[in-house]
Structure 1
Amino acid sequence: MAYSTSTKVPMAQKIAFGIGMFANQMFPAILGIFMVVLVEDLKFTGLLWAMIYLFPRLFDAITDPIMGFISDNTKSKWGRRRQYVLVGGIVMGIAYIFMWQLFKENSVQYNFWYFFSWSALFYLGLTLFSVPYVAMGYEMSEDFHERTNIMAIAQWIGQWAWVFAPLFWIIMYDESWFPSADVAARELAIWVAIPCAVCAIVPALFIKSKSTLNEDYEPLTLNNIGGSFMKIIESFKEAFKIKEFKKLCISTFFIFNAFNTVASLTFFVIVYKLFNGNAGDAGIWVSMFGCLGALGTTFLVIPVVARMSKKFGKKKAFMISQFISIIGYVMLYFLFIPGKPWMYIIALPFFSFG
């Protein structure tokens, strides 16, 4: 049920939805920055770090479809989405603060299970928030072009999270700010979580929705929820019989893995290869990688790819973009040069096309 049947959605409503997108992007972005502290300062092993990265993906694969069914079939005077967005935003904020209250004095095992437990609650909150939140955006208008405009504004606002998040690397490893990165993580978690949680609940408070009390939805029983999960699995099987769809999935898998591999290891490559392991000496250069990459994507890559899509078609634009990104990945290999950290900037516009 759409929240608005009119052609145009008020700009205030679009901005309210976009503010939620900032939270939806900022929490994962800043989490990736803070995660370095686990290895660099709290001495988590590679295996423990991998488990912390793997668990959310497995958790989301189960909870996201379930949350989708629950949200789609909720009968409420507040509609199907708003209450979950509100609760999810609050849960994310609280869990994020507590999950980073880690101390070097505790054992690695204790810190691991403490972090793991709170992160499970955090990702549950993220699911509660993000699944109905994204659906809320598509239901704000019945007009195809207006929905595109809503999402474009939201993505533009959300993209700034990836510009701001890397700046925290400067603060965390600057001793004039904090004596150590683990102390920084404990304190900054509070200053990050509270405003992000506020941003997350803005759509729930300000975007209008219609009552669904009289709608003919499926009852929210355990049997129906379990059955919905099985239906989704069957739908996946049917979708993967489509040759073109399978190719897109395989491409997406490798593209995201390539990008996330570089993103996860950037800190260590810059600090240990370019600055001989001294995070303080690395200064702004770790942050610059993320900031300039995000700015390039926002103001250069997205407009260029959109223009290529209109001129050459989506398939050719996709192939050209990936070819350019491969050039960027190869350039990064040669441009991480000790003593010349600025050299990697040359590769970023190419890399961002991925």
Structure 2
Amino acid sequence: MTQIELSANDNVLSGQDSVRGKVPLAQKTAYGTGTLVLNLLPASLGIFAFFLITAFGIDPVLAGLLSGLPRLFDAITDPIMGFITDNTKSRWGRRRPYIVIGAILSGTFFALMWQLNPEWSQDYTFWYFLLFSLAFTIGNTMYATPFVGLGYEITSDYNERTRLMAYAQVMGQIAWMIVPWFWVLIANPNLFESQAEGVQTLSLYVAGGCMILGLMPGLFCKGIDSDNIENRAEISFATLWSNLVGVGRSIIQTFKNKSFVRLCAATFLVFNGFQLVSSFSYFIIVFHMFDGDYGATGTWPAWFATLSALTTAVLVIPVVAWMANRWGKKNAFIIATFLSVGGYLLKWYGFNPDNPWMIFMPIPLMSFGIGGLFTLMLSMTADVCDLDELNNGMPRKEGTFGAIYWLMVKLGMALAMVLGGVVLKMVGFDAGAASQTVETMTNLRIVDIVIPASTALLAVVVMWRYDISEEKAHQIKQELVRRRGEI
């Protein structure tokens, strides 16, 4: 990329950008409700999937297929939807129509997907769930991909992008405060006669809430003026082949962007490391702290998850946003990641059988990992979209960048689900045993710390040479405005 010189009045323009780029609180809240939906649906899906085996009698191997096949389908639908939303022409903009339709479809198919009957045959249950799961994936892709793209274009101001993502991520953490208690609710015989009834009923509440909340960003958020977006491809059945070629071209261009590749790689490392051991805390609490006594374990795991989300929302995300505004986004990411490593190390002392309250000790530091990750990475991806327009011209590809970024997250999650079981087997964990050996729990506690700490440190190495600073982002924006005017 050629160097862009700052003009004499760029500092004045930067101040104007801060005012012009400020996102009203109502729009931030509407976008935040969408982020809540973006977290609530997959979080609920992860909880409910457990009951495919225990409540509906699906073989564990088939249950694994039902979890994995939609992720493979995502790999196809996400980039296609990104290309479609980037090139759409409508009176309501490039993103909002899909968000509205996608919210309705996501909620509808999510509810239908879980109206399973324990008396059905395994084959019927498998195909029923798979078909509605694929339909849900299409609806969710139609919602999530343009929603993420909309977030990248709501403001062009460097620091306001971080504030917007921080606000949205705080609201998104509400999902992680609520969902851990689904375990408790579904297993409560005073609420539901069976686990199956619990899943069926809760899925209706989740679906209804997500439909209502998911409509908010489509109705009340404002993206860039799409009338000024040039060089868009025509989307129709007649141009299907050229559109598929365009999808491939867009994907190649995103991966030629070195800054974006660094964001994807760092996200994959941090999130995959975190997800790989996410279930280990539950096992450590049950078998290390309470020696396999589920009654004594009670709601400690749910409180651990809920307080982690609460700490992320009220402490970590505001601090990370402050650090980003003061020291830059890359530096904020590095600091937050190092703090999370300190939190992982504290887990060795925090998971203490003699004092269960100490499990909350690592949470404030550990939460900087995921809390800092998505707040900063989503903001930096918006900056990368400006760089892409500078290098490749229009149309702007927020949808494609968002699709590829979240595809990396989903692939990391799928890989973590597979490797998590492998790691449990390697440390000698016996799922059928009432208690575990001291050696097994020691090994599990070690990998519970080493894996996320190692992947986090590797992510720091990856991000060390990320070079889109506030000054460079401002230079890029000024050159874009000079070329095509403000949009």
Q: TM-score, normalised by structure 1?
A: 0.83
Specify whether residues 340 and 124 from structure 1 end up closer, same or farther in structure 2 by C-alpha distance, changes over 3 A only: farther
1:150 aligned to 164, 168, 183, which one? 164
The amino acid that maps onto 1:261 is: L
In 1, Cα distance between the equivalents of 2:74 and 2:309?
25
Matched, 1:138 2:152: yes
User: Contact 1:335–1:347 at 8 Å: present in 2 too?
Assistant: yes
Q: Which has the larger radius of gyration?
A: 2
- Do 1:63 and 1:127's aligned partners in 2 also have CA atoms closer than 8 Å? yes
Q: Any gaps of 5 or more consecutive residues in structure 1?
A: none
The match for 1:235 among 238, 253, 268 is 253
Q: What root-mean-square deviation, in Å, do the aligned CA atoms of Structure 1 and Structure 2 show? A: 3.3
Please say if residues 66 and 228 of structure 1, whose CA atoms lie closer than 8 Å, have aligned partners that are also in contact.
no
Inter-partner Cα distance in structure 1 for 2:127 and 2:329:
45
Residue among 96, 100, 105 paired with 1:91: 105
Q: Provide the rounded CA distance (Å) in 2 between the counterparts of 1:254 and 1:9.
A: 31
* Contact preservation (8 Å) 1:166, 1:287: yes
- Taking a change above 3 Å as real, the CA distance of residues 8 and 179 of structure 1, as seen in their structure-2 partners, is same
Aligned to 2:441: none
Residue 35 and residue 335 in structure 1: after superposition, are their counterparts in 2 closer, same or farther (change >3 A)?
farther
Q: Measure the CA separation in 2 of the matches of 1:67 and 1:338.
A: 49
The residue number in structure 2 matching 1:260 is 275
**More off after superposition, 21-30 vs 124-133:** 21-30
The residue number in structure 1 matching 2:96 is 82
1:77–1:213: 8 Å Cα contact kept in structure 2?
Answer: no
The residue type equivalent to 2:359 in the other structure is Y
Match of 1:59 in 2: 73
Alpha-carbon offset, residue 107 of structure 1? 3.6
**Alpha-carbon distance change, 350 to 181 in structure 1, aligned in 2, over 3 angstroms:** farther
Quote the residue 1:206 is aligned against: 220
Bigger mean CA offset, 330-339 vs 290-299: 330-339
> Match for residue 302 of structure 1?
317
* Conservation of the 8 A alpha-carbon contact between 1:75 and 1:214: no
**Residue number in structure 2 paired with 1:71:** 85
**What secondary structure, in the 3-state scheme, does the structure 2 residue paired with 1:263 have?**
coil
8 Å contact kept, 1:75–1:213: no
Offset of residue 50 of structure 1? 3.3
How far 1:171 moved relative to its partner? Answer: 1.1
Query: Cα–Cα, structure 1 residues 263 and 39, in superposed 2: closer, same or farther, change >3 Å?
Result: farther
Q: Deviations over 1:293-349 (max 9, x none)?
A: 111212233344445556776556544544443444455466556686544222323
Pair 118,341 (structure 1): closer, same or farther in 2 beyond 3 Å: farther
Report the TM-score when normalising by structure 2: 0.62
Identity %: 42
| Contact 1:327/1:351 (<8 A) preserved | yes
Q: Which residue of 2 aligns with 1:124?
A: 138
* Matched position secondary structure for 1:105: coil
Match in the other structure for 2:308: 293
> For the structure 1 residues 313 and 84, does the alpha-carbon distance in structure 2 shift closer, same or farther, using more than 3 Å as the test?
closer
Structure 2 alignment gaps of length 5 or more: 1-18, 370-487
**What residue identity is the alignment partner of 1:67?**
M
Residue type of the alignment partner of 1:347: P
Q: Per-residue CA shift, 1:178-234, capped at 9, x if unaligned?
A: 223221010111111101111101222233576759965211121232112211342
> Could you say if the C-alpha distance between residues 71 and 97 of structure 1 is closer, same or farther in structure 2, counting changes exceeding 3 Å?
same
